[in-house]
Amino acid sequence: MGSLLRDFVGLAMLVLGSLAAGLVLNKLSHQPLPIAYQMPEQRFDAELTTLVTSAPLQIAAAPTVKLPEFRSAVEAKKALILDARPFVFYEQGHVPGALNLARDDFARDYRHLSAILQSSAGKAIIVYCSGGNCHDSRLVANALLTLGFSNVSVFTGGWEAWSAAGLPTSTEKGGAMMPPGKKGWDRVLFVISLALAAVFIYAGADKVRDPLEVADSIAAFAILPRALINLFALSLPPFEIACGFLLFWRSTRRFAALAVLVISLVFFAALSSALLRGLTLDCGCFGAGTPSRPRMWLELGLNVVLAGASLLIYLRSVMASLATTGATWEQPKAREFD
């Protein structure tokens, strides 16, 4: 019982240390997150004000088009097609001829594409994003209406409907910005520890790259209060990286395995809740991806595997510790796998 208490005290210290590290990294960032989370619409409105010299007029929402009309416009090249998804998704595949005007980097991309947009002022503009619950295309379309473009519409089916129909895709950048016994079993568990360490170091390092993306992924689950979203987003990457490195050493492996088990169960509970509520989102657990329920099920399964692997490591470490403390000079002491 005492050793179990020490494990959870260590886990609490790791959480606090990760939060402190996340806040320091955020303070040093050239684009620090505010402590209180802001919805994408709030951030977008603030960014739009950098492009509008006077107060925007109250405008009607952009009209929508269906797949047949959108396909006709693409094939006839009679409209300017804009992809409102982040560049990382745009470069993986987009509608042929589409330019990337990402909601996340709207002001920067707009300035980059301003010459093309101004020369197409009299041409129809159609904006799309992932489809489904994605609202980036509507935000970008309404921003263009605010900026003076009149013939702007939204393809609500988005990339999901286009690709599902088996229509042509492109990866050209266009106008986008580039930015055997117990010993054998112990060896198996040691390899599993290394694999877990690699997964969590990678996952944490990927999240450090864009904490705002992590915050948006967390907010999409609609579980945490807004006041805690950014704090969780900032502390999660240091926590995962620390877990990965702590798994390398025998003296900290037990405690690290418990931490991995806990965070995997947290992810599992959040994904299960989202699936039961019918949400389609990007978990962001192992890097950014297109919101997809099949991917959510896959990540749910991966979290089960991670939780099971960490539980095996933790239980083996506990048993090795018990065997060591209960051994006599006549009995060889059990060693934790290394």
pLDDT in tens, 307-318: 999 999 888 877
**Does residue 64 contact residue 156 with C-beta atoms inside 8 Å?**
yes
Q: What are phi and psi of 121, to 5 degrees?
A: -60, -35
Which pLDDT band holds residue 51 (cuts at 50, 70, 90)?
low
Where is average pLDDT lowest: 47-56, 84-93, 143-152, 304-313?
47-56
**Does residue 267 contact residue 227 with C-beta atoms inside 8 Å?**
no
CA dihedral for 142, 144, 147, 148, sign (positive or negative): negative
Share of the chain above pLDDT 90, in %: 32
**Three-state SS across 120-148?**
CCCCEEEEECCCCCCCHHHHHHHHHHHCC
Which pLDDT band holds residue 323 (cuts at 50, 70, 90)?
low
SS3 82: strand
Q: How far apart are CA 181 and CA 111, in angstroms?
A: 65
Greatest mean pLDDT among 2-6, 67-71, 131-135, 184-188: 67-71
Q: Which CATH superfamily is domain 40-164 in?
A: Rhodanese-like domain (3.40.250.10)
Q: Where in the chain is the domain with CATH 3.40.250.10?
A: 40-164
Average pLDDT over residues 144-152: 87
Q: How far apart are CA 46 and CA 41, in angstroms?
A: 9
Q: Which residue has the higher pLDDT, 45 or 206?
A: 206
Q: Is the pLDDT of residue 242 over 90?
A: yes
Cα 67 to Cα 61, 91, 98, 139, 161: the distances in Å are: 19, 22, 15, 20, 7
Average pLDDT over residues 231-256: 90
For residues 245, 251, 252, 258, the Cα torsion angle rounded to the nearest 10 degrees is: 130
Burial of 166 (0-12, 13-18, 19+ CB in 10 A): exposed
What are 172-214's pLDDT values in tens digits?
Answer: 765 444 444 444 566 788 888 899 999 999 999 988 888 888 8
Q: Which residue has the higher pLDDT, 287 or 146?
A: 146
H-type alpha helices, 120-225: 136-146, 158-164, 182-209, 211-220
